[in-house]
């Protein structure tokens, strides 16, 4: 009888020990945080016959999204279609796990853009300088690079320097892009095709830029002022009547003020 009791006691102790070890092991091994990345913080366009698509280095179940608007990303795989996305911008990629946990990372799709800005011709502020890889601190490699390939912008009067991508706004006005006598609130879009001598291997890239004309700051249209303010608020969040929507960061607004 004593042996049976001893055996029962031993089994109970063993069961408690196994249960404790199991619980302790489970609690001591938290899930590994998701290191969401695409292999590099800057993704360069590639010259190939099919769309250039980049995947996260590690896939996790859940959904993926990109911000701001302009990036084409698969919400299930997190794959970025670089060929069909707006380049020259920085994007925030968010992964949402099935339990609601969010993981974020930032990526730049290499290229150029122009900042939303007022240019005052009367103050000799007449050159729009391109921004490379979403940072004014990065130097645009010019040796071997070409801008306005095919002469698309220049043929329409938008004076783009083919060696550096700069836009001569005063010359563009003289070229008559806003008419012989420019009127307030005239808006013109121009497509600039370009190749940068960088890790993209001079792949053909493109940018649409929008030029505006106003005689004075007082003439600037309220809707344009609102667009600029909305883009500035929390990145490119737009707020209207208590609701929130997302602004498209493109095309950039290059606003020419005559006086």
Digit-coded pLDDT (tens) for 78-112: 999 999 999 999 999 999 999 999 999 999 999 99
Look-up: residue for tokens 């209207």?
240
Digit-coded pLDDT (tens) for 21-78: 444 444 444 578 999 999 999 999 999 999 999 999 999 999 999 998 899 999 999 9
From the CB of residue 114, how many other CB atoms can be counted at a distance below 10 Å? 22
Contact status, residue 244 vs residue 109, Cβ threshold 8 Å: no
Measured CA to CA, the distance from residue 57 to residue 95 in angstroms comes to 13
The pLDDT score that the predictor gives to residue 234 is 54
Question: Pick from 259, 232, 250, 107: which is nearest to 192 by CA?
Answer: 250
The whole-number average pLDDT for the span 165-192 is 97
Please, which residues have CB within 8 angstroms of residue 17's CB and are 6 or more apart in sequence? none
Measured CA to CA, the distance from residue 173 to residue 159 in angstroms comes to 9
Measured CA to CA, the distance from residue 39 to residue 36 in angstroms comes to 9
Q: Which residues pair with 191 in a beta bridge?
A: 208
Domain ranges of the chain: 42-109, 112-257
Q: How many CA atoms lie within 13 A of 108 on its CB side?
A: 14
Question: Pick from 134, 109, 106: which is nearest to 52 by CA?
Answer: 109
Strands (E), the chain: 42-43, 53-54, 63-67, 80-81, 89-96, 102-109, 112-113, 117-120, 127-128, 131-132, 146-147, 167-168, 186-195, 205-214, 237-240, 243-246, 253-257
């Amino acid at each position: 009888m004593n042996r049976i009791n001893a055996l029962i006691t031993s089994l109970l102790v063993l069961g408690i020990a196994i249960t404790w070890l199991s619980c302790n092991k489970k609690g001591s091994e938290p899930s590994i945080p998701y290191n969401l990345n695409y292999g590099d913080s800057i993704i360069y366009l590639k010259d190939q016959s099919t769309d250039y698509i980049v995947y996260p280095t590690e896939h996790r179940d859940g959904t993926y999204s990109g911000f701001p608007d302009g990036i084409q990303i698969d919400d299930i795989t997190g794959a970025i279609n670089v060929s069909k996305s707006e380049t020259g911008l920085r994007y925030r990629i968010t992964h949402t796990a099935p339990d609601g946990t969010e993981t974020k990372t930032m990526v730049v799709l290499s290229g150029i853009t122009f900042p939303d800005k007022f240019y005052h011709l009367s103050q000799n502020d007449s050159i729009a300088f391109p921004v490379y890889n979403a940072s004014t601190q990065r130097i645009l490699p010019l040796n071997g690079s070409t801008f306005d390939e095919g002469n698309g912008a220049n043929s329409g009067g938008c004076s783009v320097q083919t060696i550096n991508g700069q836009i001569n706004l005063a010359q563009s006005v003289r070229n008559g892009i806003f008419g012989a006598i420019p009127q307030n609130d005239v808006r013109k879009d121009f497509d600039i095709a370009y190749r940068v001598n960088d890790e993209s291997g001079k792949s053909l890239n493109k940018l649409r830029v929008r030029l505006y004309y106003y005689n004075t700051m007082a003439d600037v249209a309220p809707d344009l002022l609102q667009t600029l303010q909305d883009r500035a608020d929390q990145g490119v969040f737009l707020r209207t009547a208590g609701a929130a929507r997302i602004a498209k960061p493109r095309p950039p607004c290059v606003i020419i003020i005559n006086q």
